Structures are given as C-alpha cells and as structure tokens.
Amino acid sequence: MQFFIDSADIDEIQDALSMGMCDGVTTNPSLVAKTGKPFRKVIDAILDIVDGPVSLEVTTLSYDEIMAQARELAAIAENVVVKLPLTPPGLKACRTCYSEGIATNVTLCFSPTQALLAAKAGATYISPFVGRLDDISSDGMRLIEEILSIYEHYEFETQVLVASVRHPQHLAQAAAMGAHVATIPHKVIGQLFKHPLTDLGLDQFMADWKKVPAG
C-alpha cells in the first residue's frame, strides 16, 4: 500500500519523507491556500524534494481551460499528476490526458458510479473522500469497498486513492480492503504510531535499564 501525504506544507512533507511514510503527495486549492504562499513557490518546493507522484489540482471548470492548465502542470515535472474534477468536462479532460500520457487524479468522488466513470475515462487515480461522507452520516469506507469490488470485476488500471482520511481507523480499514493508496494528513500519520502499550512498555524498559549495574 502506498502512503501519500495530504499536505502542501513543506515541513510536514519533509517529516513524512524522513520516516519513509511519503510515497507521494496530494494537494488541493485549500491546502495550498493554507500555506499563505504563492502556488508556484509551494509546488516548486515540493517537487524539489519528492520523487513520487505529486497531485496538483486544476482550478477551472471548462474543458478547454482544464486542458490548458493540465498541460501546463504536467510540463513542470515528470512526477506531476493532474487533479481533475469529477464533472463531464473534467472526465473529458481525463480522457484527453490519458491519450497524451498525462497522469491524472480524479477528485471529489462520492459514489461507485462516479468511480466507474473515472476508470472508464482512463484516470490514473480515483479519490473517494471518505471523511466527508462520514460527515453527512453516510459510510465512507463502504464506498471504498464498493469501488474496489467494481474495479476488480473489470480489471481497471485506475488505482483507488483513499482521500479525506481523518483518523487511523480509516487507514486500517483501507489497508484491510486492499486500497492501493491512502493520502493521509500529517496529524494522522503521527496518530498511527501511537499505542498506550508501546508507551507503557517503553517507560518500563527505560526504568529497568537504570537498574542495570554499570561496568
């Protein structure tokens, strides 16, 4: 399973990389805005240190404008993945990107049929937003299960990228289901390390080590 970090913050990305927990990066306009820095400055810094796939989102809705942005973004670096909206123009652009060899991540997916459309359009990744479904009392992880089983029937190449991950349980379930990728906020990566028995055990080992005679 691949771990992407869902962040545009260079310190968070660097930290995840140093732990071997960053196979790639996903960004979106909200994450870029949060940095308070210009888009190009943010993405150049990320692309300087990340070799894996880096998703950069288009910020326009018409097919022609999406394609212009997609080509521009894809030309920045080989590992750029163009993030496209799950709309008719977005999926039409996905198809064009597929034929031009541009990697894509179709975002804001909330239903199995949307995921099916993205796979047929040739998406490299589909991003179902599990946390946002949970937010409206739906079942985000059930969607992942449904998409994975549809993709398996037809052997689509599109990879399921679990997005809007909010807590470790999302990741545990995604891994158990065999999701290809999860994009994880830095805070959740930190939570994944935590177990009270690890802390208790370490306290005990540290205390006992002090009892070992020197020499």
Enumerate the active-site residues: 83
Provide, rounded to whole angstroms, the least separation between the CB of residue 131 and ligand G3P.
5
Reduce the DSSP state of residue 1 to 3 states and report it: coil
Provide, rounded to whole angstroms, the least separation between the CB of residue 78 and ligand G3P.
22
Provide, rounded to whole angstroms, the least separation between the CB of residue 127 and ligand G3P.
6
| Contact of 30 with 185, CB cutoff 8 Å | no
Q: Which is nearer to ligand G3P, 136 or 212 (CB)?
A: 136
Provide, rounded to whole angstroms, the least separation between the CB of residue 8 and ligand G3P.
10
Provide, rounded to whole angstroms, the least separation between the CB of residue 74 and ligand G3P.
20
Q: Which is nearer to ligand G3P, 102 or 163 (CB)?
A: 163
| SS3 per residue for the chain | CEEEEECCCHHHHHHHHHCCCCCEEECCHHHHHHHCCCHHHHHHHHHHHCCCCEEEECCCCCHHHHHHHHHHHHCCCCCEEEEEECCHHHHHHHHHHHHHCCCEEEEEECCHHHHHHHHHCCCCEEEEEHHHHHHCCCCHHHHHHHHHHHHHHHCCCCEEEEECCCCHHHHHHHHHHCCCEEEECHHHHHHHHCCHHHHHHHHHHHHHHCCCCCC
Q: Which is nearer to ligand G3P, 136 or 214 (CB)?
A: 136
Which residues would be at the binding site for ligand G3P (CB under 6 A)? 6, 26, 28, 129, 131-132, 163-164, 166, 183
| Contact of 63 with 93, CB cutoff 8 Å | yes
Q: Which is nearer to ligand G3P, 63 or 190 (CB)?
A: 190
